[in-house]
Homo-oligomer: A and B are copies of this chain.
Amino acid sequence: MCSRTSRNSRTGRPRSIEADTAILEATRAALVDLGWSKLTMGDVAGRAGVAKTTLYRRWANKNELVVDAVAVLFDELELPDLGSLRADIEHVVLQFAALLERPETKTALMAVVAESTRDAPLRERIRASIVDRQKRLVLDGRRRAQQRGELPSDRDPTTVEATDDLIFDVIAGAVVHRALVSAEPVDGQWVARLSALLVGGLGAVATLGE
């Protein structure tokens, strides 16, 4: 989860687990207080009651530390079966939006993604600990909708995968763009429009008034 140099050796003094959690907690607190750009390794070390060198023994740089600190928040995401595709979509979107509204994730997520465009290991770390965790929700939602008969069953497996990827990018991208770029609230009304668009297309959402 954390260190890249964890050469799980059975000898020597073991790494403090408490230090791990304290550092990640301190990182989130620093994100809230200072934001991404003004967060420094020294500050996090001070908050966590840990030497700065200890941070560098576990994380190579600020980016990887912040990814791990934020990633655990995505564990909360769940997809209870609410009985219909639209209800499932709206619920998970609201959950995701609530996560994005938190000041820790708000300032950190885009920053690390920006860094990942020039840092392949960081991109992989984000994918494994954040993106894939969200993507599972799409797979589950589609499977349920097919079982209910709301969506046609699978044909070509490659088509299915491409469609899942598309839906994921559309939903996650729309929420992120709404929350961080447009900087408008992701409320029930907006989510209702989004799910109407996804299920019925542009024609459906345009006549949503009546």
Contacts and interface: CB of A to CB of B under 8 A. Distances in A.
Given A35-B117, A117-B107, A169 B159 contact: no
B197 A169 contact: no
Contacts of A131: 181-182
Contact of A170 (B107, B123, B194): B194
- Name the 3 nearest CB pairs between A and B, nearest first: A173-B177, A173-B173, A110-B114
Contacts of A35: 117-118
A169 B198 contact: no
A17 interface: no
A115 interface: yes
B152 A207 contact: yes
Contacts of A114: 36, 107-111, 114, 180
Interface string A186-210: 0001100110011111111111111
Contacts of A190: 162, 166
Contact of A180 (B117, B156, B207): B117
Interface residues of A, number: 63
Interface of A: 35-37, 85, 106-111, 113-118, 123, 126, 131, 145, 151-152, 155-156, 159, 162-163, 165-170, 172-178, 180-184, 189-190, 193-194, 197-210
Q: Select the residue from A111, A113, A181 with max chain B CB neighbours within 10 A.
A: A181
Q: Select the residue from A126, A165, A173 with max chain B CB neighbours within 10 A.
A: A173
Nearest to A176: B173
Nearest to A177: B173
Contacts of A156: 209
A177 B169 CA distance: 6
Contacts of A173: 170, 172-178, 181
A129 to B, nearest CB: 13
Contacts of A198: 197, 201-202
